[in-house]
């Protein structure tokens, strides 16, 4: 049997290296010939955020739709949230990423509550922290696909800032993301040029108008929205769902 010339010797062990060869650890060889093409792009998305500061606070509005491409998939997705009595936040872009971001912000708030030092996180701190988180993820080339808008009151002064998926961050008196940056932002900037210090009512009217125009022009929008409000005197309120006043009379043939 040992002298037979026609049969190969049996293997030493299964999956093992051949005699004199090295063992190949799994995962060190490409499973396919090409590098893995792993496309990072948003899936379930929400559209614009519209926000404005007024003399005593900040308003942030966003509709309740989460789209699956052009399909209006989920029609009750809140994305304007209260962080703590100092801060509200709105988010656009990938809804799953937003839910994840929201979950670790909430955990951060709990962690800080557990310190029991009587301090609450301030809007600029959250804004700065989110800037670093978004930048870190973009540096890993695996970004959170969101536009985040942070509003709040810091030292009695309204604060409004935004961070995008790259970590690009800025503060301004009006901030709109997505389609709103093209349609709502010029309306709000124009109003602010004419009257730099708006009161709550004027700001609310403007937001209402913007959400209306956006609903008519943005194909990924929805006629129900939430309005987040933070006010020096009245604190945080998330109103809604608010319905856009629709008028389709013009669409009928006479």
Partner 1 sequence: MMQTGIRPYYPDYSTVPVERQINPYADNGGSVVAIAGKDFVVIGADTRLSSGFSIYTRNQNKLFPLSETTVLGCSGCWCDTLTLTRILKSRMQMYHQEHNKNMSTTAAAQMLSTMLYYKRFFPYYISNILVGLDNEGKGCVYSYDPVGHCEKATYRAGGSAGALLQPLLDNQIGQKNLQKPSQEDLTQEKALSTLKDVFISAAERDIYTGDSVLIKIITKDGTKEETFDLRRD
Interface residues with partner 1 (CB under 8 A) are 11, 14-15, 18, 24-31, 35-41, 131, 134-135, 138-139, 141-143, 165-172, 181-182
Nearest to 79, CA basis, from 93, 67, 62: 62
Structure tokens of 136?
């870190």
Report the alpha-carbon distance of residue 136 to residue 146 in Å, rounded. Answer: 14
* 39 classed as catalytic: yes
Q: How far is the CB of 44 from partner 1 (least distance, A)?
A: 18
Q: Smaller CB distance to partner 1: residue 10 or 118?
A: 10
Q: Which helix (H) or strand (E) holds 254?
A: none
Q: How far is the CB of 237 from partner 1 (least distance, A)?
A: 27
Q: Smaller CB distance to partner 1: residue 139 or 197?
A: 139
Q: Smaller CB distance to partner 1: residue 81 or 158?
A: 158
Instruction: List, in order, residues 6 or more apart from 49 with CB less than 8 Å away.
Output: 60, 61, 62, 79, 80, 90, 91, 92, 147, 149, 175, 176, 177, 178, 180
Q: How far is the CB of 212 from partner 1 (least distance, A)?
A: 22
Q: Which of the following is catalytic: 5, 37, 39, 254?
A: 39
Burial of 82 (0-12, 13-18, 19+ CB in 10 A): middle
Cβ atoms of 63 and 211 closer than 8 Å: yes
Q: Smaller CB distance to partner 1: residue 65 or 169?
A: 169
Q: How far is the CB of 175 from partner 1 (least distance, A)?
A: 8
- By annotation, the residues acting in catalysis are 39
């Amino acid at each position: 049997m040992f002298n037979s010339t026609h049969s190969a010797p049996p293997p030493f062990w299964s999956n093992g290296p051949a005699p004199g060869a090295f063992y190949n650890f799994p995962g060190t060889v490409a499973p396919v010939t090409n590098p893995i093409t792993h496309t990072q792009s948003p899936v379930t998305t929400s559209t614009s955020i519209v926000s404005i500061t007024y003399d005593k606070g900040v308003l942030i509005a966003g509709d309740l739709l989460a789209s699956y491409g052009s399909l209006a998939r989920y029609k009750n997705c809140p994305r304007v949230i209260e962080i703590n009595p100092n801060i509200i936040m709105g988010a656009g872009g990938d809804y799953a990423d937003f839910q994840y971001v929201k979950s670790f912000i909430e955990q951060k708030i709990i962690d800080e509550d557990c310190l029991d030092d009587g301090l609450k996180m301030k809007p600029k701190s959250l804004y700065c922290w989110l800037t670093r988180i978004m930048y870190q993820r973009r540096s890993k080339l695996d970004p959170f696909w969101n536009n985040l808008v942070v509003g709040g009151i810091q030292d009695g002064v309204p604060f409004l800032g935004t961070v995008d998926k790259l970590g690009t961050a800025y503060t301004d008196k009006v901030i709109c993301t997505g389609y709103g940056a093209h349609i709502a932002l010029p309306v709000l900037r124009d109003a602010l040029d004419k009257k730099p210090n708006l009161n709550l009512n004027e700001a609310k009217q403007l937001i209402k108008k913007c959400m209306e125009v956006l609903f008519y022009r943005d194909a990924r929008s929805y006629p129900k929205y939430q309005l987040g409000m933070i006010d020096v005197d009245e604190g945080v309120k998330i109103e809604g769902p608010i319905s856009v006043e629709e008028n389709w009379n013009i669409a009928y043939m006479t």
